[in-house]
């Protein structure tokens, strides 16, 4: 190994992640109920090219093949989510066939020597949950669902996350109209945030009360907030954007309470939420970090529902969705979370790079040097953070497979493994082979990363509304 080789701790967990709705397909099979996302895909104009997730990559039937590919890649752990409406098609009714699918998947993983890491909620809300997260009752129903799943799988699954990216659910579904339920309700935002936090707390308490000895935490989408220049007004607003998008979840979960800007933004009364804080702030075993890019802020009243100018610095590299590529911001985030919140264990639960068929050749989608470079430079910063003392215990690449990417449909592709969506054939990309080697060596040589990666370059167009 060269002098440039960087190693990770001996017990570092190398994994990859997926979510149920994005890969399983057959969302109504074997007695499953409908979800908000199922209905969203059937609503004209909501998904690019009118696509849906009725088949996705058919992981529901091909999970054994997929676990074999995980083993071939050398994954130590696999993060997946469980579909709430598959398990609870009606409130109070348990669908054992839905549970059986996840029992089979977990058994297959354990047989392959891969540690299961299960997420209870990755955005799918059963359609019977009226009002979704505007309704406190949804949080109470989520606890009931969590108890069913823990009892079925808690003795075999050692790692659990309650929610995946509740900020995205709240922000993009209840402020930007891009995700279900398609609202732009600034006044009701605090209530949605609180009910998601309450669902998390109730699920953690249920897990503890049932006596399981594994680890449980929450997964948040976390981005540093930057500014284009040193304007003090912009910097102050960047802090407020962090409070609104990140600290509104981190604060209460970590026992620090809600940031004042949440209520300044919504006009709501903070006293209405105090009674639930003991439930929400129960200790967690880990924080999962989903990170792709930093965000930019500058105060721009009336520009959009956030009063924010999201425009980035001119000339910076981006991915194919226009999100900035900034590995050092990843390091800054990891250190900041450790220092400010005192988290005892961190896991990077998602990190990855989308490539779009509309912007790349078929060969580039497989020979994905740009993704290898992205992973390598971000992992360099992860290792740097570990050297600085950050308790980062594992890394999950997003995603294991190309999949249904929500409102974008099947383009972009985030996968390490290419999926032909017509034949469902799986093929290792160059990034999968590279990641396999990283896992086998527990590190890599940054000097061997691809040179001159083909990142798109951002050109500043001024104030703009943010879309996912």
Q: Note whether residue 396 is domain-resident.
A: yes
How many Cα atoms occupy the beta-carbon half-sphere of 448 within 13 Å?
12
Structural domain boundaries, residue 413 = 6-448
* Closest to 15 in 3D by CA, of 66, 76, 85, 58: 76
Question: Strands 426-428 and 417-419: what pairing?
Answer: antiparallel
pLDDT in tens, 315-342: 999 999 999 999 999 999 999 999 999 9
**Confidence (pTM):** 0.98
Q: What is the CATH number of the domain that holds 234?
A: 3.20.20.80
pLDDT in tens, 248-262: 999 999 999 999 999
Q: Which residues, 6+ apart, have CB-to-CB distance to 105 below 8 Å?
A: 63, 67, 80, 116
Q: Note whether residue 411 is domain-resident.
A: yes
- For residue 462, what pLDDT is reported? 76
Residue percentage of the chain with pLDDT more than 90: 97
Q: Note whether residue 465 is domain-resident.
A: no
Q: Note whether residue 75 is domain-resident.
A: yes
Question: Strands 295-296 and 417-419: what pairing?
Answer: unpaired
- For residue 467, what pLDDT is reported? 65
Q: Which residues, 6+ apart, have CB-to-CB distance to 239 below 8 Å?
A: 225
Whether 364 is catalytic: no
Q: Note whether residue 455 is domain-resident.
A: no
Question: Strands 443-444 and 6-7: what pairing?
Answer: antiparallel
Question: Domain count of the chain?
Answer: 1
Mean pLDDT of all residues in 115-144: 98
Catalytic residue among 24, 124, 132, 165: 165
- For residue 465, what pLDDT is reported? 67
Q: Note whether residue 217 is domain-resident.
A: yes
Is the pLDDT score of 187 beyond 90?
yes
SS3 170: helix
- For residue 407, what pLDDT is reported? 97
How sure is the predictor about 463, in pLDDT bands with cuts at 50, 70 and 90?
Answer: confident
Mean pLDDT of all residues in 237-247: 98
Cα 286 versus chain centre, distance? 15
Q: Note whether residue 35 is domain-resident.
A: yes
H helix and E strand count, the chain: 16, 14
Catalytic residue among 124, 132, 350, 405: 350
Mean pLDDT of all residues in 393-419: 98
What is the rounded CA–CA span in Å between residue 364 and residue 355? 9
Whether 350 is catalytic: yes
pLDDT in tens, 46-103: 999 999 999 999 999 999 999 999 999 999 999 999 999 999 999 999 999 999 999 9
Q: Within 10 Å of residue 11's Cβ, how many Cβ atoms?
A: 9
What is the rounded CA–CA span in Å between residue 258 and residue 243? 8
Output DSSP code: residue 308: B
């Amino acid at each position: 190994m060269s002098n440039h080789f960087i190693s990770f701790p001996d017990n570092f967990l190398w994994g990859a992640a997926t979510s149920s709705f994005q890969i399983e397909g057959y969302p109504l099979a074997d007695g499953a109920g409908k979800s908000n996302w199922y209905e969203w895909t059937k609503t004209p104009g909501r998904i690019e090219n009118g696509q849906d997730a009725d088949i996705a990559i058919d992981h529901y039937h091909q999970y054994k093949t997929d676990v074999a590919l995980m083993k071939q890649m050398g994954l130590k752990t696999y993060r997946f989510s469980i579909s709430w409406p598959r398990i609870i098609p009606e409130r109070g009714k348990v669908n054992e066939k839905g549970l059986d699918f996840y029992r089979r998947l977990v058994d297959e993983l354990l047989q392959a020597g891969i540690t299961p890491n299960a997420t209870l909620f990755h955005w799918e809300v059963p359609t019977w949950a009226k009002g979704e997260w505007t309704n406190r009752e949804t949080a109470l129903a989520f606890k009931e669902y969590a108890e069913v799943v823990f009892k079925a799988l808690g003795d075999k699954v050692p790692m659990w996350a309650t929610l995946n990216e509740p900020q995205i659910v709240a922000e993009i579904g209840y402020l930007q109209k891009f995700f279900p339920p398609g609202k732009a309700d600034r006044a009701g935002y605090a209530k949605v945030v609180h009910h998601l936090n309450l669902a998390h707390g109730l699920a953690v308490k249920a897990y503890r009360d049932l006596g399981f000895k594994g680890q449980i935490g929450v997964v948040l989408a976390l981005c540093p907030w930057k500014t284009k220049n040193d304007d003090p007004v912009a910097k102050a607003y960047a802090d407020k954007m962090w409070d609104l998008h990140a600290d509104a979840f981190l604060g209460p979960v970590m026992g620090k309470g809600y940031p004042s800007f949440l209520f300044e933004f919504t006009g709501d009364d903070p006293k209405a939420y105090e009674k639930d804080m003991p439930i929400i702030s129960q200790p967690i075993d880990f924080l999962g970090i989903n990170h792709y890019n930093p965000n930019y802020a500058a105060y721009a009243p009336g520009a959009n529902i956030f009063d924010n100018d999201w425009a980035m610095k001119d000339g910076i590299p981006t991915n194919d969705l226009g999100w900035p590529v900034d590995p050092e911001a990843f390091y800054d985030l990891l250190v900041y979370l450790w220092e400010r919140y005192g988290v005892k264990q961190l896991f990077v639960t998602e990190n990855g790079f989308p490539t779009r068929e509309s912007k790349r050749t078929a060969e580039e989608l497989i020979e994905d040097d740009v993704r290898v470079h992205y992973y390598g430079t971000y992992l360099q910063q992860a290792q740097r953070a570990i050297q600085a003392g950050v308790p980062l215990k594992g890394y999950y690449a997003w995603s294991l497979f190309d999949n249904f990417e929500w409102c974008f449909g099947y383009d972009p592709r985030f996968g390490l493994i290419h999926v032909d969506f017509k034949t469902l054939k799986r093929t290792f990309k160059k990034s999968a082979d590279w990641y396999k080697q990283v896992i086998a060596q527990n590190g890599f040589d940054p000097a061997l990363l691809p040179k001159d990666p083909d990142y798109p370059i951002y050109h500043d167009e001024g104030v703009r509304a943010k879309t996912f």
